[in-house]
């Protein structure tokens, strides 16, 4: 003889029960609650609201030595071979070396932070290393 209620106390009637694929008697209200709980736990968390950063003042860039140069020299294609990347960055580095605003450009890229491209004479890896160095120095102080 079947129990009059399910484990959670719902009455077992023809309307509130069903037989699952394995032949077991199931409670409809419990099944609905399990599905609702699964949906709620699988939903993505709302995106974090990031504080809007004030637009950077890039007025210094008007004096950049790279103005008018091919942008692809400073931003390589995805999947670029290492030798091609090194040759491209060497050319970019030559331009940056004589640039009157190289320091401002590098500082902008380090604090923005710009993840891609060649900025202020520094490639992505060099900027990452510099950020880490600055963080270590700040933490040591």
pLDDT in tens, the chain (141 residues): 567 888 888 888 888 888 878 887 888 888 888 888 777 776 666 666 555 555 677 888 899 999 999 999 999 998 999 999 999 999 999 999 999 999 999 999 998 878 899 999 999 999 999 999 999 998 987
Does 21 share its domain with 79?
A: no
Does 27 share its domain with 73?
A: no
Which residue ranges are tagged as binding site for [4Fe-4S] cluster? 66, 96, 99, 105
Domain of 32 in residue numbering reads as 8-36
Does 68 share its domain with 130?
A: yes
**57 assigned to some structural domain:** no
Predicted TM-score of the model (pTM):
0.59
Does 86 share its domain with 134?
A: yes
**83 assigned to some structural domain:** yes
Does 70 share its domain with 123?
A: yes
**Residue 11, φ and ψ in degrees, nearest 5:** -65, 140
**122 assigned to some structural domain:** yes
**50 assigned to some structural domain:** no
**13 assigned to some structural domain:** yes
**81 assigned to some structural domain:** yes
**52 backbone φψ class: left, alpha, beta (φ>0; ψ -120 to 50):** beta
**91 assigned to some structural domain:** yes
Does 31 share its domain with 72?
A: no
Residue 126 contacts by C-beta under 8 Å, 6 or more apart in sequence? Answer: none
Alpha carbon distance, N-terminus to C-terminus of the chain: 75
Which residue ranges are tagged as binding site? 66, 96, 99, 105
Does 118 share its domain with 72?
A: yes
**53 assigned to some structural domain:** no
Does 31 share its domain with 93?
A: no
Which tokens is 124 given? 């992505």
Scored b (16 or more CB within 10 A) or e, 94-116 reads ebbeebebbebbbebbbeeebee
- Count up the domains in the chain and report the number: 2
**Residue-level pLDDT at 62:** 92
């Amino acid at each position: 003889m079947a129990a009059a209620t399910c484990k959670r106390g719902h009455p077992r009637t023809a309307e509130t029960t069903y037989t699952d694929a394995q032949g077991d008697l199931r409670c409809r209200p419990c099944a609905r609650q399990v599905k609702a709980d699964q949906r709620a736990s699988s939903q993505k968390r709302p995106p974090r609201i990031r504080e809007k950063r004030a637009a950077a003042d890039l007025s210094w860039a008007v004096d950049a030595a790279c103005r008018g140069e091919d942008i692809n020299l400073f931003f390589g294609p995805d999947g670029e071979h290492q030798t091609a990347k090194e040759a491209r960055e060497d050319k970019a580095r030559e331009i940056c070396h004589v640039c009157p605003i190289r320091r401002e450009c590098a500082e902008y890229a380090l604090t923005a932070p710009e993840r891609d491209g060649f900025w202020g004479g520094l490639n992505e890896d060099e900027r990452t290393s510099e950020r880490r160095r600055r963080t270590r120095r700040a933490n040591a102080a």
